[in-house]
């Protein structure tokens, strides 16, 4: 009995001392955690910071982050929460039935809890109609694309506690779709298309543990967009297609991106995915138009793979209309620093894309800014432009909303405010972004 007690005591001391040993003299190699988080910097001590407690507070955060075996301990904790309590300790992640993984924003959009209002969408539509007409006159192609959403595609696996709650009167998706179609705006609705071919598609269009469309879904959608551009511009672009599929045992990026961010010990069981073997034809005699694509992360599956560079000549991706990426540039640029009239003037094709979870901020202030630039250029008659104000303000507010959404600590603060006030996160996000804008312009 005494020996057993000594063994248990020794194990306990080892468990307590091992993280400190690992922090001081690393013994084991550690796999970094996945996801977006801020790495704390070791604070500098001063007399003032010591006595007002700010140093201790900052150092506590730094010490907690740098403790030995921290990634392993977090993964153990996360795995227990997932396997025992069916809970995800990753911000915004929802575990659905049969371990289908969602992000809460997609469920909010599907339920209509983030609806921005008919008036907002009507104003955006009026501006879009005006902008589309001016771009048409200049010989350019404007195309709006609604990327699919996982909640709309897999509603049967959403937890009952969400499906039982009352839905909003309508959704941003339904209202934008109806408004754009009614006003004759160029729109491709992949959300509707994916749902309709869900049971007949050869391979999965969505992964079980990821939030983005599958490689097969990307290939089908890209083919449709190419055909639209070719028909609209009466051109013959570089041929694009696929011959056969890879059917690996493991998933390729980003088909496991939600689960990766959960930082578990063991992989979540999932169904296999198929990856089309993409090919591009010879560029001789083909047209590669210049393009600007304003989109959310769904476009990374096209831009990041290099597909867009094979199809377009000058190829710019304006990520959420805040950061512009171009393979020809040494580094991304802030879109606010770019001359939008010059950029659009040099482009042949402008595509604006959003999945359902991001329609509450669609079209990311891009149409607002382009509308104001066109009206202010002096080449537009007053009678041509719809009477809508504050487009510049709206564009800046959209950028602030994106900055808040991308900053975990700031986002958490907004979520707590929303809970206290009994309003949606999106409403509170917009209110705080508006306040930041007002302070900035005082």
pLDDT in tens, 71-86: 777 888 889 999 998 8
Question: Alpha-carbon distance 68 to 70, whole Å?
Answer: 5
What contacts 189, CB < 8 A, 6 or more positions away? 146, 177
Question: Alpha-carbon distance 229 to 74, whole Å?
Answer: 48
Place of tokens 């709650």: 165
Q: What is the pLDDT of residues 271-301, one digit of tens each?
A: 999 999 999 999 999 999 999 999 999 999 9
Look at residues 213, 120, 212, 117 and name the one whose alpha carbon lies nearest to residue 171.
Answer: 117
Instruction: Note the pLDDT of residue 161.
Output: 95
Quickly state the pLDDT bin for 50 (edges 50, 70, 90): low
Place of tokens 């669609």: 362
Q: How far is CA 249 from CA 18, 245, 271, 280, 400, in A?
A: 36, 13, 10, 26, 42
Highest mean pLDDT among 54-58, 110-114, 420-424: 110-114
Look at residues 134, 119, 120, 129 and name the one whose alpha carbon lies nearest to residue 375.
Answer: 134
Can the peptide bond before residue 254 be classed as cis, meaning omega within 30 degrees of 0? Answer: yes
Instruction: Note the pLDDT of residue 271.
Output: 95
Can the peptide bond before residue 372 be classed as cis, meaning omega within 30 degrees of 0? Answer: no
Look at residues 386, 394, 431 and name the one whose alpha carbon lies nearest to residue 122.
Answer: 386
Take residue 431 and report the two structure tokens written for it: 């209110």
Q: How far is CA 342 from CA 332, 337, 346, 372, 377, in A?
A: 17, 12, 6, 14, 12
Answer yes or no: are the C-beta atoms of 100 and 211 closer than 8 Å: no
Q: How far is CA 352 from CA 183, 204, 349, 405, in A?
A: 17, 25, 10, 20
Take residue 205 and report the two structure tokens written for it: 């269009």
Look at residues 370, 341, 300, 337 and name the one whose alpha carbon lies nearest to residue 132.
Answer: 370
* Residue 245 φ/ψ, nearest 5 degrees: -140, 145
Quickly state the pLDDT bin for 29 (edges 50, 70, 90): low
**Residue 323: pLDDT over 80:** yes
Quickly state the pLDDT bin for 60 (edges 50, 70, 90): low
Instruction: Note the pLDDT of residue 412.
Output: 87
Range of weakest confidence among 3-12, 154-163, 211-220, 404-413: 3-12
Bridging pattern class, strands 333-334 and 323-325: antiparallel
The residues spanned by each domain of the chain are 2-75, 93-387
**Residue 383: pLDDT over 60:** no
Look at residues 404, 406, 428 and name the one whose alpha carbon lies nearest to residue 415.
Answer: 428
Instruction: Note the pLDDT of residue 405.
Output: 86
């Amino acid at each position: 009995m005494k020996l057993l007690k000594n063994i248990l005591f020794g194990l306990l001391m080892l468990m307590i001392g091992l993280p400190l040993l690992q922090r001081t003299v690393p013994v084991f190699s550690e796999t970094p955690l996945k996801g977006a988080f801020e790495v704390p910097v070791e604070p500098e001590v001063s007399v003032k910071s010591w006595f007002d407690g700010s140093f201790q507070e900052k150092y506590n955060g730094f010490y907690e982050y740098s403790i030995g075996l921290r990634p392993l301990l977090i993964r153990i904790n996360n795995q227990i929460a997932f396997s025992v309590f069916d809970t995800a300790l990753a911000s915004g992640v929802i575990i659905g039935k049969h371990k289908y993984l969602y992000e809460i924003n997609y469920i909010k959009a599907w339920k209509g809890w983030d609806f921005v209002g008919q008036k907002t969408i009507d104003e955006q539509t009026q501006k879009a109609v005006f902008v589309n007409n001016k771009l048409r006159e200049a010989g350019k192609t404007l195309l709006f694309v609604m990327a699919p959403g996982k909640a709309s595609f897999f509603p049967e696996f959403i937890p009952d506690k969400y499906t039982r709650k009352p839905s909003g009167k309508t959704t941003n998706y339904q209202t934008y779709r109806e408004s754009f179609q009614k006003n004759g705006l160029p729109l491709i609705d992949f959300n509707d298309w994916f749902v309709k071919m869900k049971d007949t598609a050869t391979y999965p269009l969505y992964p079980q543990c990821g939030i983005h469309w599958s490689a097969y879904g990307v290939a089908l959608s890209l083919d449709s967009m190419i055909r639209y551009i070719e028909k609209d511009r009466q051109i013959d672009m570089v041929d694009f297609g696929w011959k056969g599929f890879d059917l690996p045992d493991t998933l390729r990026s980003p088909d496991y991106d939600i689960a990766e961010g959960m930082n578990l010990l063991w992989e979540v069981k999932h169904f296999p995915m198929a990856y089309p073997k993409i090919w591009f034809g010879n560029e001789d005699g083909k047209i590669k138009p210049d393009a600007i694509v304003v989109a959310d992360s769904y476009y990374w599956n096209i831009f990041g793979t290099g597909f867009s560079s094979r199809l377009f000549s000058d190829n710019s991706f304006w990520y959420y209309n805040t950061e512009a990426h171009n393979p020809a540039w040494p580094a991304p640029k802030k879109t606010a620093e770019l001359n939008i009239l010059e950029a659009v003037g040099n482009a042949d094709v402008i595509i604006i894309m959003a999945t359902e979870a991001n329609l509450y901020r669609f079209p990311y202030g891009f149409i607002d800014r382009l509308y104001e630039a066109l009206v202010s250029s002096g080449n537009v008659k007053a009678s041509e432009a719809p009477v809508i104000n504050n487009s510049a303000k709206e564009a800046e507010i959209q950028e602030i909303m994106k900055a808040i959404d991308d900053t975990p600590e700031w986002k958490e603060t907004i979520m707590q405010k929303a809970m206290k006030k009994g309003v949606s996160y999106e409403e509170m996000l917009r209110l705080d972004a508006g306040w930041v804008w007002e302070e900035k312009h005082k």
